Structure 1
């Protein structure tokens, strides 16, 4: 009888040991599954990050190409010359915001000079020396940017100043204003693209 009890006890002990081992195996499998799931999620996340990064690079490349196409279009129209694209390339040495700061500065300065020219021509006695100073300033800034059409009209204005013809100066100043407005709208369009490019650069860094 005692032997039967001992055997029964041993059987129960073996059963408990087996159950414990099975529980440990299940726990290990669960841990392995958790580790696998974490690794899988990590791989998926990294893959998504790579895809987003590639899309951003493609988007930026497309934006840059679109901007360069617009610059070429301005050249084809005769509004700017090769200096304009050179100015754009200077951002590589002067920082990503260089071009975004250059264009508004030019537009603002040009607008101020044209206003000064108009005020000088409104005077009962026109000071042509002051007019030629304004003209030289506008012509110089336009030439530096590559805004060749405005530069050329400034040359016409300079000739009118040499002839001391107020009427001719007024007529040519209207031409300068027209060319300025035409260029301004197209530069603002280019600026919008450049802002998107700079934003894409910032998100990559």
Structure 2
């Protein structure tokens, strides 16, 4: 099987997160901070973002459900959410916070509720996208008994997961490193499992 097929599918999925505005350059910067001494850095930071966001969204829901809405408190929650989303590069969530804060200044409960629904939707979308990204990278690494878990940037700015061991044991080269362009011969078992997972998450082998 041509390694380019798997490589293009994985890289295209990550590139789509930037192209569709789910992520911005801040996420790439987080990945550059990850190294061998802290291989789970990105996952840990994103997990904290998930926790903070869900807490803040719950606080916002309760605050806007009060008979007399404290718009200063609502604005403070939105400000925190904007900072949290900005820190991980969750661009679409961050962008939703701007009109939300404007609605707080206008003290308009109805428009604030609409903004809350929009921001909840964007949060759930980016959460699903990031979880899929991490699950795919982990799946490929686990199936291939990979030793390398570093994130690398190729010349096009796309972030690729460097995975060793996905070729035959004698090859032992990275599957998704941008410098690896060779065609490998994969076992049928490995190919079937990778393709099934890719199809499950909606990727297309180009």
TM-score range, shorter chain: 0.5 to 0.7
| Residue aligning to 1:106 | 49
> Is residue 135 from structure 1 mapped to residue 78 from structure 2 by the alignment?
yes
Distance verdict in 2 for CA 1:94–1:159, change over 3 Å: farther
- Rg larger in structure: 1
Using the alignment, how far apart are the partners of 2:46 and 2:38 within structure 1?
Answer: 14
**C-alpha displacement at 1:193, in angstroms?**
2.6
Q: Tell me what 1:96 maps to.
A: 39
The answer to which structure has the higher helix fraction is: 1
Cα 1:109–1:153 change in 2 (3 A) is: same
Give distance in 2, aligned partners of 1:85 and 1:64. Answer: 19
Superimposed CA distance per residue, residues 49-97 of structure 1 (whole angstroms, 9 cap, x where no aligned partner): xxxxxxxxxx9x9988765432311111111111112212221275111
Instruction: Determine the structure 2 residue equivalent to 1:116.
Output: 59
Q: Is the 8 A contact 1:154 1:176 kept in 2?
A: yes
User: How many residue pairs get matched?
Assistant: 146
Against the structure 1 CA distance between its residues 165 and 129, is the aligned structure 2 distance closer, same or farther, given a 3 Å change threshold? same
1:179 maps to 122
For 1:192 and 1:148, the matched residues in 2 are separated by 21
Q: Deviations over 1:15-65 (max 9, x none)?
A: xxxxxxxxxxxxxxxxxxxxxxxxxxxxxxxxxxxxxxxxxxxx9x99887
Confirm whether residue 77 of structure 1 aligns to residue 23 of structure 2: no
Structure 1 spans left out of the alignment, 5+ residues: 1-58
In the alignment, structure 2 segments of 5+ residues that lack a partner are 149-163, 166-206
C-alpha RMSD over aligned residues: 2.6
Runs ≥4 residues deviating over 4 A: 61-68
CA distance in 2, matches of 1:161, 1:94: 43
- In 2, the alpha carbon distance for the partners of 1:116 and 1:73 equals 31
Instruction: Report if the CA contact (8 A) 1:100-1:194 is conserved.
Output: no
